[in-house]
């Protein structure tokens, strides 16, 4: 089936079909892994660029209406209708992400082919293109061979499927129809070593390969995402014209760059997601302190977040947090704030865990990001937490939100100002940790990544887009080898200016019993990093005591071992004859 009669081949193509999938809901209304059929889209000045799409669907994507926004992110509105889903109901969900990306490509003037082995899904995409006046650049196929043959040589196919085995299976199917010199691009959240393995396998077949991280969700897909491609440079050069036009645009240029060889693109996207975990947790802690310690109403919280978003905390996540806090419940007649009725359990897909695992492998401290992952784990223990609350209330220790705060308007404003300072300072530490992790991997792999360029392409389209990414780019432009953003002169001044308020927030949380793991983790990181001497000397002495691990001295060269007491060794002398 074709949507167009023309036989013209595409100069370039993009695959990104938004499919109709099914999400299964259990009795507790939590979405499980959805079942979605693999989809392929392609485009071009007739189709040498294709995009295979199978995505995990999220019901939350239904909550947002499409709206235009600039690269920095102007205020959006929430859809006023939210579906009422009973347990065990299996609704057909049209995920707009892949469809939006295909329409984005078509809108930029590139003709695009779409393929899905389920014909109705192809029809759905073609129908939407026609509705939006883009059918002249949009064609649908129901046979993979015909779809691939519709692409001009060298053919380019982007796949967007669930990470792991589905990617391998999709590549195997496409490879049957592709020729040496053709290009495959994986646009999903894939483990970077899988990308490197697949690049080698593609090379053996004469194919070029890219692993391209894409961030921005549905809105970004339609209006311009941030893109992080890595792998064969020749593959990027072949598709650069398309991705430069399709991605988000800012005053610093298009939000795409060739990240580096091998799995560099997927790795950078993974760390982007880890930073995103930290950002979201920090914002939730700011919300909790203001609500629980300060007693702010949702309307007051919205006002505070809007003010922050107009200044140094300007970011997509702050913006949508204000929108979420303002949203009223449209599912029940009694109304009220919808956010107050959402179950306090956070899901995850795995990129945050991968980030923390990589930090451990590379010995890079990322306490802000790691604690955000721990917070998600703890949120999943809902039943245990409810039971524990009852246990401690029964022995005289009530939870933090039992007692209503009684702050004066002046005290509330002072707390808002302090939380604002704490949030900004914590974000600086979180991004410093993420950038250091990217640098460590780059050194290990020989990727030679440009950290300033990473900050630049995150300015628009992606979930962590924020005003202060300009500042990060400037810091790396001044000194590409700066060991940490914390020692950049401008960031150091800002951290000192916010130091007192930051500490007051942590103390207020501790005194009230409100956990601030990521804010505290950031402050602890800051305090540790700026001290010339830490208590690690005692820890190393302990290691030497029980395991003869040796230690270095500040007043002598070499490694040393001591017999600390009769209980730990038959040795009777202190010696420098030990090496790690």
**d(C-alpha 362, C-alpha 577), whole Å:** 28
Find, among 49, 336, 312, 54, the residue nearest to 188 by Cα. 54
For residues 226 and 256, the answer to whether their CB atoms sit within 8 Å is: yes
**d(C-alpha 274, C-alpha 370), whole Å:** 9
- Quick one: 262 exposed, middle or buried, by C-beta within 10 A (0-12, 13-18, 19+)? buried
**In Å, what is the CA distance from 444 to each residue of 386, 436, 440, 481?**
45, 12, 6, 15
Tokens of 424: 């900004």
**d(C-alpha 111, C-alpha 50), whole Å:** 11
**d(C-alpha 120, C-alpha 94), whole Å:** 12
In DSSP notation, 291-359 reads: IIIS---HHHHHHHHHHHHTTTT-BHHHHHHHHHHHPBP-SSTT--BGGGGS-S-----SHHHHHHHHH
For residues 97 and 103, the answer to whether their CB atoms sit within 8 Å is: no
Q: What angle do CA 314, 320, 324 make, to 5 degrees?
A: 140
Residue identified by tokens 């001497």 is 533
For residues 212 and 186, the answer to whether their CB atoms sit within 8 Å is: yes
Other Cβ atoms less than 10 A from the Cβ of 298: the count is 19
Categorise residue 382: left if φ over 0, alpha if ψ from -120 to 50, beta otherwise.
alpha
For residues 105 and 113, the answer to whether their CB atoms sit within 8 Å is: no
Strand locations in 388-541 (E): none
Tokens of 433: 């940790």
Other Cβ atoms less than 10 A from the Cβ of 251: the count is 10
List Cβ neighbours of 511 (8 Å cut-off, separation of 6 or more).
none
**d(C-alpha 89, C-alpha 80), whole Å:** 22
Q: Which residues are catalytic?
A: 269, 276
Find, among 297, 277, 273, the residue nearest to 287 by Cα. 297
**d(C-alpha 475, C-alpha 353), whole Å:** 28
| The length of the chain, given as a count of residues | 580
């Amino acid at each position: 089936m074709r949507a167009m009669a023309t036989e013209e081949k595409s100069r370039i193509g993009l695959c990104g079909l938004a499919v109709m999938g099914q999400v299964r809901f259990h009795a507790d209304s939590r979405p499980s892994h959805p079942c979605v059929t693999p989809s392929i889209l392609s485009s071009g000045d007739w189709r040498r660029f294709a995009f295979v799409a199978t995505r995990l669907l999220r019901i939350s994507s239904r909550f947002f209406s499409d709206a235009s926004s600039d690269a920095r992110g102007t205020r959006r509105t929430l859809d006023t209708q939210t579906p009422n889903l009973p347990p065990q109901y299996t609704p057909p969900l049209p995920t707009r992400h892949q469809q939006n990306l295909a329409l984005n490509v078509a809108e930029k003037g590139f003709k695009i082919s779409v393929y899905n082995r389920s014909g109705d899904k192809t029809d759905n995409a073609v129908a939407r293109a026609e509705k939006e006046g883009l059918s002249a650049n949009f064609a649908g196929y129901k046979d993979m061979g015909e779809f691939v043959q519709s692409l001009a040589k060298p053919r380019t196919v982007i796949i967007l499927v669930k990470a792991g085995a589905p990617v391998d299976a999709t590549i195997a199917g496409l490879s049957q129809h592709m020729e040496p010199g053709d290009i495959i691009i994986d646009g999903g959240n894939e483990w970077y070593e899988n990308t490197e393995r697949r690049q080698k396998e593609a090379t053996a077949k004469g194919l070029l390969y890219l692993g391209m991280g894409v961030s921005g969700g549905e809105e970004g897909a339609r209006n311009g995402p941030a893109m992080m491609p890595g792998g064969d440079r020749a593959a990027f050069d072949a598709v650069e014209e398309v991705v430069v036009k399709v991605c988000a645009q800012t005053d610093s240029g298009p939000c795409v760059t060739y990240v580096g060889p091998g799995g560099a693109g997927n790795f950078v996207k993974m760390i982007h997601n880890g930073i995103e975990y930290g950002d979201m947790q920090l914002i939730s802690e700011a919300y909790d302190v203001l609500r629980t310690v300060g007693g702010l109403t949702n309307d007051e919280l919205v006002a505070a977040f809007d003010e922050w978003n107009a200044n140094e905390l300007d970011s997509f996540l702050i913006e949508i947090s204000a929108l979420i806090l303002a949203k009223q419940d449209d599912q029940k007649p009694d109304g009220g704030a919808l956010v107050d009725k959402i179950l306090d359990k956070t899901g995850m897909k795995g990129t945050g865990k991968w980030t923390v695992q990589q930090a451990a492998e590379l010995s890079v401290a990322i306490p802000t990001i790691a604690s955000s992952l721990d917070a998600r784990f703890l949120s999943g223990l809902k039943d245990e937490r409810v039971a524990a609350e009852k246990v401690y209330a029964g022995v005289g220790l009530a939870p933090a939100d039992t007692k209503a705060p009684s702050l004066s308007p002046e005290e509330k404003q002072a707390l808002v100002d302090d939380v604002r300072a704490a949030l900004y300072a914590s974000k600086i530490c979180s991004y410093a940790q993420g950038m250091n992790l990217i640098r460590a991997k780059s050194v290990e792999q020989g990727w030679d990544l440009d950290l300033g360029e990473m900050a630049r392409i995150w300015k628009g389209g992606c979930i962590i887009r924020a005003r202060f990414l300009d500042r990060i780019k400037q810091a790396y432009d001044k000194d590409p080898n700066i060991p940490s953003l914390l020692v950049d002169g401008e960031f150091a001044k800002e951290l000192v200016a916010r130091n007192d308020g930051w500490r007051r927030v942590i103390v207020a949380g501790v005194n009230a019993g409100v956990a601030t793991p990521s804010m505290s983790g950031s402050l602890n990181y800051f305090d540790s990093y700026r001290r010339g001497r830490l208590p690690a000397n005692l820890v190393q002495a302990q290691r030497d005591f029980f395991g003869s691990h040796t230690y270095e001295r500040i007043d002598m060269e070499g490694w040393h071992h001591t017999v600390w007491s009769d209980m730990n060794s038959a040795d009777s002398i202190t010696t420098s004859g030990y090496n790690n």
